Structure 1
Amino acid sequence: MKLSNRLALLALLLLLPLALCAQKKQIQTARDQVKSGKDLAKAVASMQGLLSDSANRQNPRIWLVLCDALKAQYEQSNERLYLKQATDTTTIFSLTMRLFETLSAFDSLDVRPDSKGRVRAEHRERHAAFLHSIRPNLFNGGVFYTRKRQYADAYRFYETYIQSQNWPIFTGYDYADRDPLLPHAAYWAMYCAYKLGSADQIIRYQDLAERDTSMLNFVRQYQAEAYLLQGDSTRYVEALRDGFDRYPNFSFFYPRLIAYYERHGDHDSSLVVADRALEADSTSVLFRLTKGSILLNLGRYDDCIAICKKLLEQNDSLADAHFYIGLAYFNQAIDLDIVEQRHREKRQEITRLYKEALPYLERYRALAPDQRNRWLQPLYTIYLKLNMGEEFDEINKQ
């Protein structure tokens, strides 16, 4: 061995006892801080600094001091909250999360077998009992951050609450069978993921969320949204169909399913959905109005006019009902105008249809003046065909 290497090794051997002595002093100082209940933040930072060195990660004494320091911080903050003294609610939740992360990490070290293959798990029972006592704070932290619309933080708390049911440290607690809040946590995790627009996170706990039957309609909604985010139109439509079959009156599924079919020109499927909706609620204005629109698109003009006129008997201010009736008459006139305009009898019928359409379209214009893209062209055509010069001049300026 070269002389320089020997000197370096000698220096290392001389410095090692000093380093170990300094570490012991650092640990003892942190212990004293925990015992006094003062400078706890310094104790936590000191132990975390030691654990940042991979050589110290297997030292249980450092871990235990860190665990005790965090527990002392939590208990002090909780006491201030109980006594209604000045404290930040987020501190309680933050410490809860750090305690779960730290004590569960130490647990993996605590259960390592010794040189004879024995597993003592000396601290598991005590640490598990403590974490069990504060575990509700994970759910409450999720609720807290949800209300503040900090959905990423909320999701993290719900997810830790859910995942902790399977942590080795909680062996014997049987949360999966005994914790009634787990499905609620899964639902709210889905909700936060939906707000974040994260498809993978939305469906991660879907099966568990489905056990929260009170919110199953929203679970189906978020599932459909996840497929839409993933660009999976097949599964998206299947989810809409399934959701609509289960909850025909729920506001999410019906309009989106109709919109999908109409966008793809599948008016027959739209009509099947509309009829199914009316079976669930025959008085719904939305369902009846939607059916009128579909009948219009199918060219079933008389049926469209009939259903929309019944709606107007109940409420004369339904703008779309006026529009659908007017367009039903107008479309019939246009169809005849194209192929039958040379016959006198057909000319009279065309004129009659334009006249029938006119009051409904004018009423629609009055009720929806901003919808120029819908009423402008039909009215322009009617005024022109009926030789209504004054009205034609007025609308021609639009």
Structure 2
Amino acid sequence: MKKVLLTTALFFTAFTISAQESVVKEAKSAKSNPEEAAKIIEPALVDPSTANDPETWKLAGDFQKAIYDDENMKLYLPGGQADTAKLYNSLAKMFEYYMKCDEVEQAKVQSGELKKPKLRKKLAKTLQSVRPNLTNGGSDAYNTGNYANALKFFGLYVDASQNPMFADIDEVKNDTLNPLIACYAALAANSLNDKAAVIKYATIGKTHKEEGYRALMCLAEAYGKGEQTDSVQWLATIKEGTEKFPDQEYFIGNLMDYYIQKGQVDVALNEIDQVLAKNETPYFLYVKGVLQYEKEDYDAAIATFNSIIAKNDKFVAEAYSKIGDCYFFPAQMIVEENSKISMDDPKYAANESKIKELYEKAKPNYEKAKELAPDNKQLWGQFLLNIYWKLNKAEYDALEKELAM
């Protein structure tokens, strides 16, 4: 009985191999219709009996190349209408199948089954010639919000430089466009919240001299958000951004926020002074003023904000608002103190006088912020409402109605 079962098993295995080989033959016979042939050969790509043959993968890649060539030709014919979705899909599959072909063939060389690879050189040259179009596929996908496809195309482009298949092709191995395309891959991965892909591609993309800041931003987002944050890597990335791209506000702003949260305002002030020594912009001045405000060095903060106003460039409304804060919030501390003492206490009346004095100084600054940024109510809304309540009930009533609209 055991012998019969063994014979049956061997017969079934032989039948399976024969069936898959038949699929490959059928696909070959349908090569004049590459789309049909591509469908026919699909089962052979997953069955071990044929998937371990490099010729199977080459054939599958050839079908995809034929589909690609057909659609690509339409782009150059007068009145030609190419199916770009089909074009780029076949391009990606061509890459995947030819690279898999090389992988399987190399494995056979390593095992001694083959003396040397026969297909690598030709396939590598073919892929090199069409590789630039991967960036077009990635761009089209990204611009339509298909970030998964964008990541696939940009990723294939970048990954090729590390693939042994292209080790002898300098144009691919040392492609100077790689960091830029890696930036785009990182952006697509960031949109997908694919942390591993962000780290993989942003690590390459951050070396680009002009666009590398985008990769570093994505890298900081990957380390700083989600369930598994890495504060050490986040801080290192932010600092790297401030050093490599000092003009980018994202890195300076995040770094200064970090120092404020850690109570290291003096460290932050020292760093922002170094930044300003190289590049004095309204934003960096604004950051310095905020740091001085956080340190409760109000006179210095007011002087910094006034220097922004004098430039009459950006952050003027914000500067007026922060000058108002330099008077309003010290007044609030006195308001808090008065809430704890009796109204009959002489200090209460003295405090009330001081509160009104500070409110009077804050008022025109918030009003100027309102004039310059009427839609940004966070800069002036509730502050002015509090001040008007204390100083002028008619103005309070008018502003309350305005804010409610």
TM-score range, shorter chain: 0.7 to 0.9
Shift of residue 204, structure 1, vs aligned partner: 0.9
Q: CA RMSD in A?
A: 4.0
2:151 to 147, 151, 155: 155
Judged with a 3 Å threshold, the aligned counterparts in structure 2 of structure 1 residues 379 and 71 are, in CA distance, closer, same or farther, namely same
Describe how 1:81-120 pairs up with structure 2 within 5 A.
81-84=75-78, 85-111=80-106, 112-113=108-109, 118-120=114-116
**Bigger Rg, which one:** 1
Match of 1:201 in 2: 197
Q: CA deviation at 1:29?
A: 4.2
| Matching residue's letter, 1:105 | K
Residue number among 211, 219, 223 corresponding to 2:215 in the alignment = 219
Q: Which runs of 5+ in 2 are unaligned?
A: 339-344
Is 1:74 matched up with 2:68? Answer: yes
Q: Describe the SS at the equivalent of 2:249.
A: coil
* Contact kept in structure 2, 1:323 and 1:360, CA below 8 Å: yes
Partners of 2:199 and 2:249 lie apart in 1 by: 21
Partner of 1:241: 239
Q: Which moved more, 1:168-177 or 1:81-90?
A: 168-177
Select which of 249, 267, 271 maps to 1:251.
Answer: 249
- Aligned identity (percent) is 26
Return the match for 1:298 from 285, 292, 295.
Answer: 295
Q: TM-score, normalised by structure 1?
A: 0.78
Gaps of at least 5 residues in structure 1 are: none
Tell me, yes or no, if the aligned pair for 2:68 and 2:88 is still in contact at 8 Å: no
Give per-residue Cα distances to partners, 1:206-256, cap 9 Å, x unaligned.
443244222233333222222212422333233223322333321211222
Equivalent pair of 2:61/2:93 in contact (CA under 8 Å): no
1:44 and 2:49 correspond: no
String of CA shifts for 1:31-60, please: whole Å, max 9, x gaps. Answer: 3332xx2x3222222222234333333456
Provide the rounded CA distance (Å) in 2 between the counterparts of 1:212 and 1:373.
Answer: 44
User: CA offset at residue 333 of structure 1?
Assistant: 5.2
Q: How far apart are 1:268 and its partner, in Å?
A: 2.8
- Look up the match of 2:169: 173
> TM-score w.r.t. structure 2 length?
0.77
Task: Give the Cα–Cα distance (whole angstroms) in 1 for the partners of residues 195 and 183 of structure 2.
Answer: 14
* 1:114-153, Cα deviation, whole Å (9 max, x unpaired): 9975514233333333222222233332233223332221
Tell me the residue number matched to 2:385: 376
CA contact (8 A) 1:220 1:243 kept: yes
Change (3 A) 1:379 1:46: same
Residue 10 (structure 1) shift = 7.4
2:135 aligned counterpart, secondary structure:
helix
Question: Is residue 88–residue 137 contact of structure 2 (8 Å, CA) maintained in 1?
Answer: yes
Distance in structure 2 (CA, Å) of the matches to 1:330 and 1:320: 15
Q: Which amino acid aligns with 2:100?
A: A
The 2-side partners of 1:52 and 1:226 are apart by 35
Query: Mean alpha-carbon deviation: is it higher for 43-52 or for 9-18?
Result: 9-18
Aligned equivalent of 1:182:
178
Aligned counterpart in structure 2 of residue 359 of structure 1, from 337, 349, 364? 364
Q: Which residue of 1 aligns with 2:342?
A: none
User: In structure 1, how many angstroms separate the alpha carbons of the residues matched to 2:276 and 2:232?
Assistant: 25
1:326 and 2:318 aligned: no
